[in-house]
Structure 1
């Protein structure tokens, strides 16, 4: 079962800033904020110190509407952290809100957040709709989302989809540049407040100074204060505080400060300098914490009067914000000032930093402790901490922080704390910087050798071995692993370390194909740690011994891939393993999805080796897809090869070269395929990886088989069988025996055929590998319809019935006497073409035009039988019954000969069946019609709720539409209805893709799709509306208005109607916006 994600919910982030006595009621601002209750979206953006959060909090206090509040922080760059907290923010007011959504989020089932954004947003909005009551949702400090594309994308979806009862408020320091905000603005659905709205007016300054600070000002003084502070709230607070206490405001106003920033710094210094020494000390101490409380101050700084100091600061209105019960923070600007002041006293700063670091260390927050030690420049303490906690932090995925820390620690300190060299080597290895990693391990070896330290020597050998394991070079890894184990056994080491090294040895022996030795090391592991289970190693063992089902179950149950492990395991990652397994088993979509996940994971964790292997696995999946584009598969493999070249990893190229060998072989480029296959074989042969060598040899054998060189193919296949048997790989042996059986059948070598097919079917039954006959797999036949004739021949050769008959029954051919051995592929959209397996049926093959037309009729009526009389009427209208019947018989015979050229005399036709006087396509036959796939992709794409998945399906379908249905039969009544249905479906599909492109703000792409619609149907009004909107968003209002004129003219000319009201409304909106812009420039 998939382990659940864990996340502590910090509820203080749901509390708006508490109201202070230094606040005044601002009627004008409150009146503006009152509009929040009527507007779907409110955007508030100002610099720091303008009081936006306090004003919002004050408004919510007076509002009778329910509301939730969430203050974003740096942690919200992580989408999971963000979305869970947003849901919990609403749950503060509605405890049962989003229970199922929370369960889904923490379940660990989500593999990629990008694909789930739509779903999560829809579920969130559906839950909001159930609330029914008007509800205000405030997200404060929204500028933090600029660092997270996922959070930004989700928020834009939320703004578009939120129900009418919800009013979203986004408050931050910068204005988001999202087109969805522009759309809300254009539709009059946006309330926007800026710094101008929060600036204190002359009258408000007077009220603030009078009511809060008991200061009466003359009109002249008010004008000077307004000029000096520019109505900036935080500066007014400081000025009022100093005036109230010291009566020195004139000195401030006459100081000649030119900007409000300078004024704030001056006022802050004045205020700070006049505080008692113990308060100054307390301010400097507590500035080191983002948040603090009385207990924390007493613990870290021994400030026994911390409670009194905090009370004093609150009474003085000295920029202390209460963020929860007895929990406080300083205003950001004031904290920055305090930290600058502290830096002027290095001795005090270092002393305080040491205390803070020790506090975090004692609390078990080693990451923060390390950060503070490094800030203090205490490399010794930082190094000592890394020795004890570095590996744990590394395994918890704290990669970037650790790398920065290690780069900053002087080499002399690393030499003293030699484990740091191992840690740095591991960091470089995980980032696929193998040369730098090797340098670190060698440095460790030198130091450990000097000190005769067996543990250090063992770690250095292990690190070097791991590099060769990562890059699958088992021969090179073997001696280092043996040395690592030898050194380790001289020390009083832990059970965990023994298990780790024994597991690495097992894995390496597996790469060498030494299955028996692997089993002996697994026994050693169990002896040391009976309860230990290495899912990764066991799944690779199962993969390399052909036990695919068990390997898949193991990986899926454990969900090894990246949910619990933050670090890359190179080619051994769960996603990569599952992708390869699924390609070998013919589960193409799963293989593709897992390859994508591996690539994304490699990029995110900056592991180019994982990314490179992921691209190779993607190439395998792509070439198994229906309607695959060979150039796309080639691009995947070439991307993998380039990444491997950048890493200088020749060993890692073999799998990509193997994939290209298979691909070019399928395309008939045999010389190129053989040349690349030989290159693929070099590295695994050199490093003695027998399993991969066997797979590459098999790829080469398949190319020679397709090429027709059966002697060379037999030689290569026999070599493959020997290799796979020697390393205990049952699946490779099964596949090899299948191809040998096909070869002997073609050579009419009955005895050899019976022997190999019997062994093949025995292995399939033993290892439950029936998928090889039912799915298109990486090393299987391109057209699996060539398998039934093979099984029928096995039956004829009296192979045991228990081996043959269950497979024929599973494939649906239990009662079958013969089978042509191929799929018919039909292209009806655009030029009509037919392929018999991989062979194209040319014009001459039809013999008669009526034979081709008859086949086209059957294809058009694919799901029904047609009466003989109706066929005669449709194809030979006006002829008498006897002549038409005669011509039908001739055409039917010619058609069957065309689509079944190797059918024996008097053998029943397979693809066309007859029932009494009715004819039609055989439902058991494999006939692939492009129009059917087009309908499936477009209809499923139109129904799909996820934009990303909808677009993928729609584009896939649209690629099939190469032109109208059976253009050569344009005037035949029997195909008009289907032609028109397909055409309308095509326009709807293009329209939906254009709409999605607009939602994704890909306006140029949307314009291309819309023009494509209008090329086919110049009166498709939605295309005009989308074009108008796209040009408007591109700031080309003139072109947008021209599109309307074009629409108006076309509708009038073609249909004699005016544009719809929705089209006219859009025209009015664009025209009014254009006029406003023109007038603003006058």
Structure 2
């Protein structure tokens, strides 16, 4: 037998991170006889051991095992050769024959028994000889008779077939598993930052750690891909992660293909499961041996780990890889069948949370709604929702988060929506603190969807915009398209159809380019709805027919949206009977799902169709159902009330009309639905409550001023002043005392905060009403149980007058309305509470009021342009870009107006500002559009930066 020199050669130590925590543990246990380093492929077992021996400069024999070493004479020969060279500096001239194996073993044992200096014997790739009875016998004797100075290190993918119980009891055995040798977060950071000088952002390291679970080989593979990438290129890379071909190729060649076909099939089928419960597997696959197979996979270290409760699962990357393999092997139909079978299995086991998730993934939405109803009654609802929020992403390996968001939020019991909102807001704050931008946009989108349904449209818009920026950065096309679509919905509600069309077309383009069917159907439905708003019935019909086809094939849970829009289409076409037919189909789907939002949406439109048919009783019944279903959806309830007003007006039921009108006014005031209020012209008269009799005058736009009977009111205590500003922002609403405490004294002890609060509110009441004898009699600040309300009925508050004037001005299409807009502009002496820019709790109202002012300026600019009063028009355009220099469409409207009047030099000046703010700062390419605009007027473009 010829000796192969490389079998006794220690691996060279390439630059690697020092595994200090592992080295430290070895250094404190020097009397070990056997160390087993067991782990899946690619966890750096060999590198860990080799770097330790090199660093500590321990004498060692390194034996690289192959399949031929399972024969006793081969194993003994190489081991003896290595020990002779290391211990006695002698080279064996020949290798042993099979006949000499026993005698050679005796000599080997004698050598090791008298060893008086520390010696490590490393047996690498031990899994190749693990099944050999001969090697097992030899190892037993070596461990029994070797000197205490000899330590064997076995490096293997499987646990060695050796009895180690005696060694364990004597404290002479240590085992390192996959969990031990996996990279920690700090080691991943050291690997990229220190070893390879690649400064990744916190969210990138967080993503690598979460997805790779410290798998060392994956870090090396990732490094090879991103090492030369720019930050922008890396951002696009993370979008597809962990779908990385290099990682999948490694798992395929090193792990998957090495298994027999029956194991490969088992691995693929069970990739549907985030937890490997043998009973569930047997039921799913019709087997009886899942326990045995899982034990085998564990023994072979096949990327299986267990959680703190002992439940087995696949390594995340490995499961993702297996799932892709499974999709290659089976049809979409079979995959969905298996997911729904799992839902039934878990429901039968009373594991309703898991059953719900698989029903959603398998697209059995009626079953999902039924299960959600059970969950809401059975478990702590807030904990269930937070659990599901994470598990939908964990279990849906397609990563179709955006597809499930709307359905999940529609399913959420409205009774817990406030708690869930708080939970999301808290998590968003944590992610911002950690700078974890990758997951931030998903959470922002989910909170935005809740805010939209709650009627907090300004808040929803801002969150959708924040989420959109994150989704675009990380190239999440599904999320980007869905954000654009829901922004279009909000702009449509505001009556800003141009902005709505721009957003929805962006959504549709992305959806169709990347094959996102879910967002495509919703974008088509939204585009059809906007067309119906503008009486473009032919175009709307094309879009809604396409949406219907897609919904029937890909998302039956959205059919009620499509049927409802179809009903509206036929109503506008004058085909009322067909409109009612489609409306009834929408209501039937909503009833099947039994989701409040769906029923409210369907019945509200059906009620309008019955109203057009003059079937008053059916119309009233449908609108009453919609009103009831929308009880916790403020904005949509407001829309239903508006339809009820119209119904009673047509029926000439003045009493009911008046009641609903009063309710409509109250809802619009309470939730600041100024755009809705203007449509009935009702708020103007109702809210102008005799400003002459106001007891207080407060200016919150610009410099903050409070006066009473012409004399300034001085509020010396800072906490009292902040409290008043918070009250003004949330006027006429119940505010929990705890919210006020958190706002005023977020860091203080509870008892101290309570005392300071009482002083602050007492000081404020005394300042506003110096003759007040008792807080209970206050005109402005009243308490009910643990709530406070700030009443503004007897206060002349400039932001209230400003809002009323904006509402009354509407879209500014008549001289009377323009006068109201001009009056609103005159009131705007600066941003809302502009002297106090750092109050996050006031930020939403600051942005809302500022947006209203921009709307006023925009309406006035366009009005004066149409009226031919260009100097006034230009002045308002200047105000707009001075106030918000990032309004691309305003710039182009201004440039166009200047070119119309041959103001070429000024137009170039505005182009300069546009280029600085939109192109240089925001990265928006405007060159081509600017060139086209100047060319259309045959004008020279003097300024455009390269």
TM-score, with normalisation over the residues of structure 2? Answer: 0.43
